[in-house]
Amino acid sequence: MVKRIIVVLTLFISIASFAQKNNTSAYSFFGIGDKNNGNTVEQLGMGGAGVSLNDVYHLNLSNPAANSALRFTTYSLAIENKNTWAKDTENKQSAATTYLSYLAFGIPLGEKGGFTFGLLPNTSVGYSLVANTYDTEGNVVEGSMYEGNGGTNKVFLGLGYEVLKGLSLGFQGNYIFGKIENSTVNQVKNVSLASKYETISNVNSFALNAGFLYKTAISKKMDLHLGGNFDLENDLNANGKEYLYSLSLGSTQISRDTILNVESKGTLSSPIKTTLGVGLGKENKWYAGIDYSFQNALNLQGNTFSKYSKISYANYSRVSIGGFYTPKFNSIASYWERATYRAGVKIEKTGLALDASGNGNDFTPLNDFGISFGVGLPVGKQLSNLNVGFDFGKRGNTSKGLVQENYFNFRLGLSLNDKWFNKLEIF
């Protein structure tokens, strides 16, 4: 009962938490923001690997087929603290933010199926940038301030079922929604009024993904895991307003004359994204696996996204390698032998390329490299866990006028297990 009360309270808290700014990256300016990694703390502690891993105690948010193994009602939630140190060839800046990264539930359906639902961020926008133009004496003659916030969230419903011995299939429906606000304020020296260009976009879409997982014993001490997830092609629609007006700058911004007020529409077309994984392990003991994801380039259409002349989208790919080790799952003598230790690495080509010069023919790809660690700590007498994870890495570089981001992310997740439905026994 206490667990259920905790989950209900968390649900109310999450409504406010998901509305908070959850990004501090300059690269979130483009498109609909940074794509969030929709994995659990456990998987992120293994570099994001685990599309082929099923577990009777933990949810798998990267493959709905894996949740056919659930045997307990499972509540899973996590918070994340992002720390970013950005630099170009001349300046350095740091920023941090903390937010609720997901809230999910899993319910077993007999001995062969599992049902999941929940809420998590899908993309995030959060930046505040200043660009100045100087004269020959070093005085500012023109300044621009760029700000953005918002993003999209995803509500999902998933089902996994074991159709044959060792083979499970899964399907998941997703509703993506959100609001994104971007603005640019421009001020010229000795001009009394500044100008402000602002876009407000409401975004929504339905999306589907399907997965499979196959697990078989190849020896008494080792199992083979094969898995895959397919995010099907979908279009994400953006509808909103474009504004351009003059304003007086002081302690507050006071709008004056409205120069532009028009409707804006746009579509982000996302091709099918495929993730395949293979792993070896022994249940409740160890696992080592590798995942490979790939996707053709995104396509932006409409006047909402037509302002991004300095970016281009290329094919996306990601390799995640990681695993876990539990010394003795049912140890009585040592608490730390029951803990689970995780580690992993990721190498990612984000599919975003930028041309800082703006001439349209000098695009530099944005790549990401990270190393992660984690530990799962048993909680109470039941099979629940407090999961701690962190990763650090680098995204982008300072060549050709771009920005390099060094980051450190800390995550804290809770996975609670309980039996809601028990057979009635008559004595």
CATH of the domain at 281: 2.40.160.60
CB 368 within 8 A of CB 320: no
Q: What is the mean pLDDT of residues 277-305?
A: 91
In a domain, 57, yes or no: yes
Mean pLDDT over the full length of the chain: 86
- Mean pLDDT to the nearest integer, 154-169: 96
Q: What would the mean pLDDT of 26-45 be, rounded to a whole number?
A: 86
Highest-confidence segment of 11-20, 26-35, 169-178: 169-178
Q: How many CB atoms lie within 10 A of CB 97?
A: 17
Residue 253 in this model has a pLDDT that exceeds 90: no
- How far apart, in whole angstroms, are the C-alpha atoms of residue 85 and residue 226? 37
Helices then strands (H, E): number in the chain? Answer: 2, 19
Q: How high is the pLDDT of residue 427?
A: 43
Residue 332 token pair: 């009585």
Q: How confident is the model at residue 12 (pLDDT cuts 50, 70, 90)?
A: very low
pLDDT winner (highest mean) among 122-131, 156-165, 305-314, 418-427: 156-165
Tell me, yes or no, whether 413 lies in a domain.
yes
Q: Tell me whether residue 175 is in a domain.
A: yes
- Tell me whether residue 425 is in a domain: no
Q: What is the pLDDT of residue 137?
A: 76
The answer to whether residue 401 scores a pLDDT higher than 80 is no
- For 320, left (φ over 0), alpha (ψ -120 to 50), or beta? beta
pLDDT digits (tens, 9 = 90+) for 60-108: 999 999 999 999 999 999 999 999 998 887 778 888 888 889 999 999 9
pLDDT exceeds cutoff 70 at 149: yes
309 has a pLDDT exceeding 80: no
Domain that holds residue 410: 2-418
**Alpha-carbon 292 to chain mean position:** 17
Q: What's the pLDDT score for residue 87?
A: 87
- Residue 423: inside a domain: no
So what's the pLDDT on residue 204? 92
Residue 402 CA to residue 338 CA, distance in Å, equals 46
Whether 271 shows a pLDDT value over 90: the answer reads yes
What is the arithmetic mean of pLDDT over 414-426? 64
Please check whether residue 95 lies inside any domain of the structure.
yes
User: How many domains does the chain divide into?
Assistant: 1
How many angstroms separate the CA atoms of 218 and 216, rounded?
A: 6
Q: How far apart are CA 259 and CA 90, in angstroms?
A: 36
Greater pLDDT, 234 or 248: 234
Name the band, by pLDDT with cuts 50, 70 and 90, for residue 266.
confident
426 within some domain: no
1, pLDDT greater than 50: no
SS3 content of the chain, % helix, strand, coil (to 5): 10, 65, 30
Give the highest mean pLDDT range of 183-187, 265-269, 293-297. Answer: 293-297
Q: Give the per-residue pLDDT at 354.
A: 84
Can you tell me the distance from the alpha carbon of 71 to that of 55, in angstroms, rounded to the nearest whole number?
Answer: 9
| pLDDT at residue number 185 | 87
- Which residue type, as a one-letter code, is found at position 98? T
- Assess whether pLDDT exceeds 80 at residue 421: no
Residue scoring higher pLDDT (22 or 296): 296
Mean pLDDT of 332-355: 92
Across the range 363-384, mean pLDDT stands at 88
Provide CB contacts within 8 A for 37, sequence distance 6+.
44, 48
- Residue 187, pLDDT above cutoff 70: yes
